[in-house]
Amino acid sequence: MTATGAVGAGSDVVAVQRRTVGVLVGAQALGGLGNTVGIAVAAVLAKDVSGSESLAGLVQTMQVLGAAAASFFLSRLMGLRGRRVGLVAGYLVGATGAAILVVGGAADSYVVLLLGAALLGSNSATSYQARYAAADLATPTSRARALSMVLWATTFGAVLGPNLVGPAGDLASAVSLPPLTGPFLVSVFVVLAAAMVIAVLLRPDPLLLARELAGRPVGEERPGTSWHRARVLAGQHPGIAGGVLAMSAAHAVMVAVMIMTPLHMDHGGADLEVIGFVISVHVLGMFFFSPFIGALADRIGRPTTLLIGGAILWGSLWLSGTAPEGASIQIGIGLFLLGLGWSFCTVSASALITDSTPIEARTDVQGAADMLMNISAATAGLLAGVVVEVLGFAALNVFAGILALGVLGAVAAARREPLSS
C-alpha cells in the first residue's frame, strides 16, 4: 500500500502533519531524557576511570563522533526506507551504547567507555534527525515552527534528566554498580521506549508521504553517492552552505564549553547535584524556547534569527569565561544563554537547509549537514580538554568566541537564498 493510500483518499495532509508532530514530540521527550541524563556525569566518570582530565572530554567527543557517523548512515537509511525505520534503528543503537557505558564503568575500562559513548551518539543523531521528520509535510512558512516543536520536546529531558543523577546513582548502587553508571542505566530503558513509540505510532511515514505527494518516491535511483549529491547541491544553493556553517559553528561552541563546565565547577568543589542543575538549566535554554524561535524564524526570516543567535552566543561566552570555579549564578546564566544561542542558530539553520533543498535530496543533505555539525563539535570537544588543562577555562571561552564568528558567514550566505516550496 502506498503512503497516500495508507492515509486514505482525500485525506487531510494538515491532520497527518499534526499527528506526525505529536508522535515525534512524545518520542523526543523520551529520547531526549535518555540523551541528557548522563551529560552531567560523563566527563567525571571518564576522569575517574582514566585518571586524566585531558582524556575526560574524549568520551563526550566520541559520543559526538558517533553522532556524526550515525547522522550520515541513518539519513541514508531514511532515504531508502523512510523516517520510521531510520529513527527506530537509531534509537536501538543508542540504547546499546548506553548499556555498554554501564559495562565500561563497572569494569573500570576506559576503552569500553569510548565504545559505548560512540554508539550512544546514535541516540543524539536520531533526536536531531527527528526534527527534519517534523518538517517533511510542513509548508515553507511553518517549517521552522514544526521542527522547533520537536526540539522543544527535549525540554522534558532537560528538566528531569540531569536532576536524576542522584536517584540514578542510588539505583546503580542498589544493583552493585558504580553510582556514576546509574544515569546510563536509566538511559537504556527510556531510549528503548522512544523506539517503541516511533515503531508503533509514526504511521503514515511523513517522508514517504511527502515524497509521494511530490511525485518523487523514496528509494528511486539517483545518480552519484549521497555525499556527492549533497556537495553538488551545497554548491548550487548558498542557503545549504550557510545553514551547515551556522549549525557547525554553534554546535562546536556549545559542545566545547558545555562538556568542560562540569569539571570547572568540580574544581571549585561544587556538588554533583549542583552541577546537574546547571547542566539542566543549560539544556533548558537549548530547547524550551525553540517554538518561539521557530515562529520568529518563520516571521522575520532565517538570517535575522541567525544573527540574534550569534550575539547571544558571544554574550554567554563572556559570562562563562569570567565565572569563578565552583557553583555561581554567573556560570548558570552563562550556560543558559549558551543553550539559547545554540537554539536560535540551530532552529534557523535547520529550516534554512530544508528550505534550500529539493524534496528528493533532503535526506542526503540533512544527513551530511548533521554529520559535519557533529564532526566540528567533536573536534572542538577534543581540543577543549587540552585547552582547559594547559590554558584554563577562560581561554576555552575565548577559543569558542572565535569559532562563533562562523555564524556571520552563515548570515551572509542565508541572505542570498530565497524561500522555496
Cell numbers 533543498: residue: 357
How many other CB atoms sit within 10 Å of the CB of residue 346? 28
Q: Is 103 exposed, middle or buried (0-12, 13-18, 19+ CB in 10 A)?
A: middle
Cell of 333: 546564566
Helix (H), strand (E), coil (C) string for 295-357: HHHHHHCHHHHHHHHHHHHHHHHHHHHCCCCCCCHHHHHHHHHHHHHHHHHHHHHHHHHHHHC
Instruction: Tell me what pLDDT residue 3 has.
Output: 52
Closest CA to 385 of 55, 15, 9: 55
Instruction: Tell me what pLDDT residue 85 has.
Output: 96
Residue type, 374: N
- In whole angstroms, how far apart are CA 300 and each of 38, 123, 240, 286, 297? 36, 32, 19, 20, 6
Q: What's the angle, vertex CA 108, arms to CA 102 and CA 109, rounded to 5?
A: 85
Instruction: Tell me what pLDDT residue 279 has.
Output: 80
Instruction: Tell me what pLDDT residue 311 has.
Output: 95
Exposure of 338 in the CB half-sphere (CA atoms within 13 A): 30
Cα first-last separation, the chain = 27
| Residue 41 to residue 273: CA distance in whole angstroms | 10
Instruction: Tell me what pLDDT residue 324 has.
Output: 82
Cell of 244: 551547515
Query: pTM to 2 decimals?
Result: 0.84
Closest CA to 328 of 285, 281, 286: 281
Cα 370 to chain centroid, rounded: 9
Instruction: Tell me what pLDDT residue 10 has.
Output: 39
Instruction: Tell me what pLDDT residue 395 has.
Output: 93
| Residue 81 to residue 89: CA distance in whole angstroms | 11
Domains of the chain with CATH codes: 12-214+225-414 (1.20.1250.20)
Residue type, 302: R
- In whole angstroms, how far apart are CA 1 and each of 11, 204, 208? 15, 11, 11
Helix (H), strand (E), coil (C) string for the chain: CCHHHHHCCCCCHHHHHHHHHHHHHHHHHHHHHHHHCCHHHHHHHHHHHHCCHHHHHHHHHHHHHHHHHHHHHHHHHHHHHCHHHHHHHHHHHHHHHHHHHHHHHHHCCHHHHHHHHHHHHHHHHHHHHHHHHHHCCCCCCCHHHHHHHHHHCCHHHHHHCHHHHHHHHHHHHHCCCCHHHHHHHHHHHHHHHHHHHHHHHCCCCHHHHHHHHCCCCCCCCCCCCHHHHHHHHHHHCHHHHHHHHHHHHHHHHHHHHHHHHHHHHHHCCCCHHHHHHHHHHHHHHHHCCHHHHHHHHHHHCHHHHHHHHHHHHHHHHHHHHCCCCCCCHHHHHHHHHHHHHHHHHHHHHHHHHHHHCCHHHHHHHHHHHHHHHHHHHHHHHHHHHHHHHHCCHHHHHHHHHHHCCHHHHHHHHHCCCCCCC
pLDDT per residue rounded down to tens, the chain (421 residues): 455 444 544 358 889 999 999 999 999 999 988 887 776 677 778 878 877 766 776 777 788 789 889 998 999 899 889 999 999 999 999 999 999 999 999 998 999 999 999 999 999 899 889 999 999 999 888 999 999 999 899 888 767 776 787 888 889 889 889 888 898 999 999 999 999 999 999 999 999 999 888 877 655 556 556 777 888 888 888 889 999 999 999 999 998 998 888 878 877 777 777 887 888 788 889 989 999 999 999 999 899 999 999 999 999 999 988 888 777 889 889 999 999 999 999 999 999 999 899 888 889 999 999 999 988 988 888 788 888 888 888 999 998 999 998 888 888 877 776 654 4
93 in Cβ contact with 122 (< 8 Å): yes
| Residue 149 to residue 292: CA distance in whole angstroms | 9
